[in-house]
Chains A and B, each alone.
Chain A
């Protein structure tokens, strides 16, 4: 009996958000360390970790936006489409305008597209009370369609100013490794990673310490009681979508910087990856529970699974999909069971 009480005590002292966050971080660490121990090879090099960051920086940014929408009780499945549209529009602007476009203006275009989607979708969801799923589904279709209307064929951007920005690498001292030939390779990250980390920090602080951030949780947890607390529920929902749209714009530009091309098939399924990483990171679709740091670890877990599967010698392409599905299932069941156990221990 004593033991049970003690367990209940620990459970109760941690909030839902932090509990799920702890589970995520522990599972990620176990997974990554066991990969280093059992698989070795590439996983021993720090660059493997930085490569995950380099590849997944756009996903980190968009998943953060997604988490905020999910915390406030909505969903946004348009982000993959918006990312593709941003890539294509910026690519066309930089490469096809006579004399070459300005890189800085292209950033404004990216932000503008993201904001426009966020504002329109946010208005329809918050003030017209249309289900967010349908609004953003239509948004996704619209963005995908617009991408092919802007330009049908995929192409690489050759503008020199853009190339220079794209190839900028930030080396990290003392983390490099030696190749088989004995050459020293410095570890590096791309600009996108810096942007992603900055956004994670800013959004984490916003969610934790500002009035707006706390009202996201309140609105997601229970809109009616949030209204009684004097929170402007509609405006909060609207702003969550605006932030998510903005993140899709920034994420789109980072994606553009990473791949350096525009194509209608860019970022296919990114919205689902973002949702999956938010969930793995402990955000609940019902709203009110979630954490940006968790989302970061969710993205890292998702990407590590892919890397582990491909380096574990399971060559067949289908194993990646099946393993990610299985991991997702595992995370969801753990979350479900933990929440159930917590509820029970609270009752007892």
Chain B
């Protein structure tokens, strides 16, 4: 970088641009900006947030932006854990959707007992949530043990819970669909009376803040990256790779429990085969859109969370254009491929080379023209 100082200021500007463009956050932020501009162009009221009242007469903020923040919360929370798992283990957990079903089912079992439609809840909500956390941690620990101790590739290890998870969830409640009678339970996925902002946004913020504090005051981030980059040298430096991978999966298990609370609370019941379907793919794509290498190593948590919101923004935008929900994946896939294509290091290198060639040829032409005119003179 230092030798750039001696060059012309125009070059300095170029290096700044290059630095910005090559930053990890550039692609997700650009995607958000482009989506925002497209939306603004088609609907000037896109960013308008109105304060209305819901059916129960409680104040509630509404608007596309609030919807995005609200419904992107689960993916963002999962993206936190998924980033850690990806960085430490160099693979992804594809069982999170199924684990959400298990944790949600356990939560409902505690709340409703064996009766599918009780008049009152059978246990305090906090107890149910703690049970869900335990279940989430247990699932995470199971995956983590397979990955770290038995050295099975993460995707394969989590394939076990992916195939068995929804069946286990159905088994916990004997395939009944309990409905939680307490309106307080709906606060977590809806709004708390008197506070107009949807609760999932607060839950998401709490998770992000906790994670930020953990990354700031512990060595977790550093250790995770070193295990992901080179397991052997991390071990030689006194870091226990087995423990780090295990912890990453346990943290993801906790994230799953929180996401399950929101998901179940949104509808106060559960549908074993549909709840959180394909959310693992969304979470993995969020990590990838954030520019994190799926093969592990360095990670940027904030880019992942931003990636989750890019995805939700895209979904909301597509819904606004009246695209049928079943055809949605095709459009999403196209955008994702474009984003990943342009953020791939190899493609950037190729584009950079092409750009340089063009610049060189232009310089050559100018040089030739200059020499030609000199010759004429």
Contact = CB atoms under 8 A, between A and B. Distances in A.
A130 interface: yes
A134 B343 CA distance: 12
Given A148-B326, A324-B164, A336 B152 contact: yes
Interface string B328-344: 11111110110011001
Given A128-B344, A130-B344, A316-B175, A321 B333 contact: no
Given A75-B155, A128-B344, A148-B326, A138 B161 contact: no
A37 interface: no
B326 A138 contact: no
A318 B171 contact: yes
Contacts of A146: 330
Interface string A144-155: 111011001000
A320 B167 contact: yes
Contact of B326 (A129, A145, A322): A145
Contacts of B152: 332, 336
Contacts of B324: 148, 152
Contact of A322 (B167, B329, B341): B167
Given A324-B164, A332-B157, A142 B334 contact: yes
B31 interface: no
B341 A130 contact: yes
B327 interface: yes
B331 A321 contact: no
B175 A276 contact: no
B168 to A, nearest CB: 6
B347 interface: yes
Binding site of A, secondary structure by majority: helix, strand, loop or mixed? Answer: helix
B336 A141 contact: yes
Nearest to B172: A318
Given A332-B156, A336-B151, A137 B326 contact: no
B333 A138 contact: yes
A340 B150 CA distance: 9
Nearest to B153: A285
A324 B163 contact: yes
A133 B154 CA distance: 13
A332 B331 CA distance: 36
A103 B338 CA distance: 36
A279 B157 CA distance: 11
Contact of B340 (A138, A141, A286, A318): A138
B294 interface: yes
Interface string B202-227: 00000000000000000000000000
B288 interface: yes
Nearest to A278: B156
Nearest to B338: A138
Contacts of B331: 145
Interface size class of B (residues with CB under 8 A): 35 or more
Given A130-B344, A148-B326, A336-B152, A322 B288 contact: no
Contacts of B160: 325-326, 328-329, 332
B298 interface: no
B163 A321 contact: yes
Contacts of B294: 131, 133-134
B70 to A, nearest CB: 23
B167 to A, nearest CB: 3
B341 A128 contact: yes
Contacts of B334: 138, 142
A264 interface: yes
Given A134-B340, A135-B337, A149 B167 contact: no
Given A131-B288, A141-B332, A332-B150, A316 B164 contact: no
B164 A321 contact: yes
A325 B330 contact: no
B276 to A, nearest CB: 15
Nearest to B336: A138
Interface in B163-215: 163-168, 170-171, 175
A326 B171 CA distance: 15
A124 interface: yes
Interface in B60-113: 92
Interface string B301-344: 00000000000000000000000101111111110110011001
B341 A141 contact: no
A137 B285 CA distance: 9
Nearest to B293: A131
A113 B160 CA distance: 31
Contacts of A10: none
A295 to B, nearest CB: 15
A265 B168 CA distance: 23
Contact of B347 (A128, A148, A319): A128
A317 interface: yes
Interface in A283-333: 284-286, 316-322, 324-326, 328-329, 332-333
Contacts of A135: 337, 340
B295 interface: yes
Contacts of B153: 284-286
A272 B159 contact: yes
Given A145-B327, A272-B162, A272-B163, A130 B340 contact: yes
Given A129-B345, A138-B340, A325-B160, A332 B146 contact: yes
A293 to B, nearest CB: 20
A119 to B, nearest CB: 14
A282 interface: no
B295 A137 contact: no
Contacts of A340: 151
B327 A148 contact: yes
Given A276-B159, A316-B175, A326-B160, 16 more contacts: A128-B347, A130-B346, A137-B336, A140-B329, A141-B336, A142-B333, A148-B330, A152-B324, A272-B159, A279-B156, A279-B159, A285-B155, A318-B168, A319-B167, A322-B167, A328-B163
18 contacts: A124-B337, A134-B294, A137-B284, A141-B333, A144-B329, A145-B330, A145-B331, A145-B332, A149-B327, A149-B330, A264-B326, A272-B163, A276-B159, A285-B153, A319-B167, A325-B163, A332-B152, A340-B151
List 8 tightest A-B contacts by C-beta distance, closest first: A145-B330, A325-B164, A321-B167, A142-B333, A141-B329, A141-B333, A145-B329, A318-B167
Interface of B: 92, 146, 150-153, 155-157, 159-168, 170-171, 175, 281, 284-285, 288, 293-295, 324, 326-334, 336-337, 340-341, 344-347
Interface of A: 75, 124, 127-131, 133-135, 137-142, 144-146, 148-149, 152, 264, 272, 275-276, 279, 284-286, 316-322, 324-326, 328-329, 332-333, 336-337, 340
